[in-house]
Amino acid sequence: MAFQTLLTSLENGILTITINRPDKLNALNKSVIEELSLAIDDVITNGEIKCAIITGAGPKAFVAGADITEFLSLDKSGGALLAKKGQAMLFDKIEHSPKPIVAAVNGFALGGGCELAMCCHFRLASENAKFGQPEVNLGLIPGYGGTQRLTQLVGKGKAMELMMTANVIEAKEAKQLGLVNHVTDAGTLLEHTKEILQVIMTKGPNAIAKVIAAVNAYYDYSKNGFDEEIRLFGECFGTDEMKEGVTAFLEKRKADFSRK
């Protein structure tokens, strides 16, 4: 699939999606969001893709925010539509992907960039990465799920402080707060991310998808997370994947889920 704003590379089941607007610090605009949505559709439906990484081109930015030049013509209803469309088209789609999608944050992740990283299933960051939701500087608030996901990840008090002060934090503090899982040097960021995904790919893909669904149910007020866990746990039984995993355990060998 050819893109204007993205670079993609599939290797050993891992699709690396690179947002390629380094002259604009990879800022999100309409084209980037639309193309990312198409790329995520491919992740979900393409059997050759087992998981994905989202990162940014160049040494400075993951995504340094939204392209605010697109905001000037919007009124109240237009702004609400922009946020609603973006959440449905991309951010929610990433969060609920049955295949792992991980952010490799290689620089600035501000505004929409921080929101993009947060909707991924987890995050790794380079030492030069910086995170923030500075929308109040523009008289705005986060619109792509930032008020919800930042609160889930770092807690209400710290999320309130970060969003109201517009302060930007470095990778080390982001890790201390639980916003990112690992911090590495820029040169090994993608390698380290791929190593974690390679471990995940040895596990049952159906079980991985159900872990994602069950964890997401905790944050869905229309669902009871414990009930969803019971339902999803039950659905695992009787599958070829479960039979292979249990049989391998009893036979004291490593499970081979490729033969399920």
- 226-246 burial, b at 16+ Cβ within 10 Å, e below that, comes to eebbeebeeeeeeeebbebbe
**Contact predicate 74/83, CB 8 Å:** no
Distance CA 135, CA 138 (A): 5
Sequence-separated (6 or more) residues with CB below 8 Å from residue 101: 40, 43, 51, 52, 53, 54, 94, 120, 121
Rg (C-alpha) for the chain, rounded Å, is 19
Token pair 């995050």 in the structure block, residue: 123
> Which of the residues are catalytic?
115, 135
CA distance 250 to 260: 16
Q: Are 255 and 248 in contact (CB under 8 A)?
A: yes
Count the neighbouring beta carbons within 10 Å of the beta carbon of residue 127. 12
What is residue 110's three-state secondary structure? strand
